[in-house]
Amino acid sequence: MSDTRLKDRIALVTGASRGIGRAIALTYAREGAHVIAVARRTGALEELDDDIKALGGTATLLRLNLTNGDKIDGLGPTILERFGRLDVLVGNAGILGPLSPLGHVSEKDWDEVLNVNLSANWRLIRTLDPLLRISSAGRAIFVSSGAARHFQAYWGPYSVSKAALEALVKTYAAEVSDSNVRANIVDPGVVATAMRAKAMPGEDPATLTKPEDIAETFIRLALPNFTENGVIVGT
């Protein structure tokens, strides 16, 4: 794997066990990165690890529920002790939440969507920023959605969380503008994922873009020579 573009880079990917996150993790591993794969399900992480090993890559598996703030806060010290730095952070994990009138959304559902889609990414930034700054070219990439900018009825919690995520990432980008860190956003468009199937159950997934077809964008943003900062990149 000597000719790979992410050789020896340390990359953490949340939501790595399926969909877009899994495609990113596999592609990063194929390109030579050591992947810290974060997800909730042990079985799916182990399957991912098997596939990464089949590619000749390496991974560290981390079972973590992103609603557990204390566990997220502990990532920075743990990764620093083991790897000494972090080169790439991909904040991909997200949930759809209820598609419902705002007045019908429960407090529990509202809090869960905001916690996973927004607050968890703030905690990741807070604990991992020092490690990204140690890297010669730290890259932070977060997955958003067109729902952050194009609003429609019944998508309130999800749209609000993604709009706030974009504000969070652009704020972080401004704060790291004079450092070796770059923070950007990917809007993947319509992709055949479990979340998309839940939102649009009548849609034929065969007509949609596959997660692996957009992974190249995440390589490009992870490279040291990608120097744009605070931008939204489509796939």
Backbone angles phi, psi at 69, to 5 degrees: -60, -40
Which helix (H) or strand (E) element contains residue 184? Answer: strand 182-187
DSSP letter, residue 191? B
Cβ 148 vs Cβ 94: under 8 Å: no
Q: How far is residue 105 from each of residues 90, 99, 102, 109, 110, measured CA to CA in Å?
A: 29, 9, 5, 7, 7
- Name the catalytic one among 28, 154, 158, 172: 158
Take residue 231 and report the two structure tokens written for it: 């931008």
DSSP letter, residue 234? E
Active-site residue flag, 158:
yes
Q: What is the 3-state secondary structure (H, E, C) of 136-157?
A: CCCEEEEECCHHHCCCCCCCHH
Backbone angles phi, psi at 95, to 5 degrees: -130, 155
Which helix (H) or strand (E) element contains residue 63? Answer: strand 58-63
User: Cα 227 from chain centroid?
Assistant: 19
Max CA separation in the chain (angstroms): 55
Cα 151 to Cα 3: distance, rounded to the nearest angstrom: 43
Find the Cα–Cα–Cα–Cα dihedral 199, 67, 48, 181, rounded to 10°.
100
Active-site amino acid positions: 158
